[in-house]
Chain A
Amino acid sequence: MKNISASNPAEDPVKEQAAKLSVYVSSSPHVHSTEDVPWIMRQVIYALIPGALVGVYFFGIPALRVIAVAIVSCVVMEALWQKLTASPVTIKDGSAVLTGLLLAMNLPSGAPWWLVVIGSLVAIIIAKQLFGGIGNNPFNPALVGRVFLLISFPVAMTTWPEPRSFFSQAADAATGATPLGALKTAIFEHGTIAAAPGLNLMDPFLGNVGGSLGEISALALILGGIYLIARRIITWHIPVVYIATVAVLTGILWLVNPEGYASPAFHLVAGGLMLGAFFMATDMVTSPITNTGKVVFAIGCGVITVVIRLWGGYPEGVSFAILIMNAFVPLINRATKPAKFGAVR
């Protein structure tokens, strides 16, 4: 349903008319919090900046290019689509910018520009606009874009440039495996993590590893996540329970068989768990609306992530886990309604 407001005088004659009259009249309440949707999007973008900066530091200009292309193409595609379908253009709410940034953080820094554009198209048009625009999409748009690219261009999407200092001018970027990739290879081919001797905790914690340009530094992402929780953009439920589930499950297995499984600490800092737990699973539109629902959702994400990481064909399971749980959100919402005041028992 459309609505009447006073903020678009060109589109609505209301403001013009009201200027001749004395007052506006609306239903109560007549005051409002200053935190609106653009404000929320901005806070999330600020929280992502540390992670993005680390990615640019370790992967150089190509990373910056991926980020820029992703953001610009997401915004342009949303505007174009809305113009073509004669809908109100909503790029000012910042959600397309955020989707672009999140998509970029989930891509390898060496991704060619056309790959990024295709990912943006899938994320914005297929995963978001075709469902009715913001608020109506059941699946996380950035993740849909990423998974589409992973399945369609598996080589380009698993070519990981080695991290190096931004200031070292190496001509060609060498490529290598991500920590989780090395782990999977070691387990599948040799049955023991000892076959991947280079694995340690400090590198993935700070960021000195291969991987998607936004996921490499657990520290930067945790800092951003704490900012989001402190600012009350997200609640602690999803990140804490998701991470705890992964820690507990991998911890049990590691305690039973330390040679065949990596430690829980490793699983926490390696791969896209921090990015997923703080920024992707907490996407408001595609996660449950009550705190109890969020806990259920997070447990599901944790379980599926661990299953894929340990026994699935892919080294990383965060994207798939979140998308699968996105599908359950309407059911979770129905099952975890808040307690009504004065419910007649």
Chain B
Amino acid sequence: MKTFKGGIHPPEEKQLVKDNPIVDFPLSSRYHVLVQQHLGAPAKPVVKAGDEVKKGQVLSEPLGFVSVPVHAPTSGRVREIGRIVHPVTGLLAPCIVIDADGRDEWAHGLPLERDPFAMSREELMDAIKAAGVVGMGGATFPTHVKLSPPKDKTIDTFIVNGAECEPYLSSDHRLMLEQPERVLKGTGVIMKVLGLNRATIAIEANKPDALRLMREKAPAEIQVEALKVKYPQGAEKQLINALTGREVPSGGLPMDVGAVVQNAGTCAAVWDACARGIPLIERITSVTGRGIMQPKNIRVRVGTPLREVIDFCGGLNSVAKIIFGGPMMGIAQFTQDIAIMKGTSGVLVLREEDTNITAYSACISCGRCVEACPMGLIPSVLSKLGEKGMHQKAVENNLLDCVECGSCTYVCPANRPIVHFVKHLKALSRAAGAKK
């Protein structure tokens, strides 16, 4: 089975939710829709307090090319343009607060009935951007930008990322099991946008039911490939490498080796956007971990308060960490007063015994991090440079090639927070660059 060099095998822990069918999360009375839920320039609010809005209505406009709009998750009235803690930065960020009217009415004309395969490439791209579709694996990169590589880059490979290599999470898994058509048809639309007649859906071997079903349902031009279970198989560069043997060049992007990768959930959102004009206002999220009483996979609207999600899932057990995303690259939260975003693939609640809160000690050069690093770096050196703040030397030691997957930190017997050191060094390097 195809794989990549390096990587680790953390306990999968997916048994908590992988067999739980998706449950529709009930309508909330209030939504906090963050204006910035994507990489790139924030969107600009176009509504004000007191405005009536309908479901799917644009709340803020994109600023520039690398930006997407955000939409109302339900019908109601704009309470205020307020601020809420942003799950990614931990700082207050602007959000549009909507009091739902309970009627959940679509904006005028929605949903549409269109045949995306009869639409031109430009029309499809406009639909994808207008729907605010972003990478739903967690990176939230605007999809329309990813699908518009510059003219000089020839794309010959399109990969759908169904690997879901993070432990605990099963949102893509359940999506492929319960709504394979949305994923497959979305794949077809993207193939048309990229001008390809072939695509590959990559699924890790720990999802045999999804592999079977997708193989059954997929048309001939979409190949379904099983990959060896190893973290971080779902990382873009490792995925391309395992499937095609190509290595994305240092400092480059997948398009430099002719590849485009999209998350399975993003493909489904693309289909909705193109065929029915539906903007990205809801997603499938795995609420899991032993710190939550009733783990579930939920279909939840963007802007839903986290407190309600936790209550819906039975409340908290004993909790040490609340994480948005998976345990390897997710972001720990310090408050429950936050809201679900477009990129929230999981809400993971860990007890003290499930996570690591021990002090770190000196590096013993055991080499486990070198074995684990999928990018061929020497993480122990970066951690020692991080202790001293030596960012220039770190850049010489390939600091910028680190994808912060966390494999090194997972295996380090001295408990060294290597990813934290890398982030610290990158921040110092950026600050030094800005000063110049």
Contact = CB atoms under 8 A, between A and B. Distances in A.
Interface of A: 1, 3-8, 21-33, 35-37, 39-40, 90, 93, 132-136, 235, 284-285, 287, 289-291, 337-344
Nearest to A132: B362
A26 B359 contact: no
Contacts of A287: 365
Interface in B82-127: 90
A7 B358 contact: yes
A35 B415 CA distance: 10
Interface residues of B, number: 69
B357 A33 contact: no
B360 interface: yes
Contacts of A26: 321, 332, 357, 417, 420
Interface in B108-151: none
A278 to B, nearest CB: 16
B250 A341 contact: yes
A23 B322 contact: yes
Given A23-B321, A30-B356, A135-B365, A35 B250 contact: no
13 contacts: A5-B357, A8-B359, A24-B332, A29-B409, A31-B410, A33-B10, A33-B410, A284-B365, A290-B378, A338-B378, A340-B375, A341-B375, A343-B249
Given A33-B10, A37-B361, A340-B377, A290 B330 contact: no
A268 B355 CA distance: 46
A161 B289 CA distance: 60
B251 interface: yes
B415 A23 contact: no
A337 B397 CA distance: 10
A340 B403 CA distance: 13
Contact of B330 (A6, A28, A284): A28
Contacts of A343: 247, 249-250, 376
B415 A342 contact: no
Interface stretch (B30-38, B68-76, B366-374): B366-374
Contacts of B374: 341
A311 to B, nearest CB: 33
Given A25-B332, A31-B327, A32-B410, A3 B419 contact: no
Contacts of A32: 355-356, 409-410, 415
Given A3-B359, A31-B328, A290-B370, A339 B376 contact: yes
A234 B404 CA distance: 26
Contact of B329 (A28, A36, A235, A284): A28
B250 A344 contact: yes
Contacts of A340: 250, 375-377, 398, 401
Given A28-B332, A31-B356, 10 more contacts: A28-B327, A31-B355, A31-B410, A36-B358, A90-B361, A135-B361, A135-B365, A337-B378, A339-B376, A341-B401
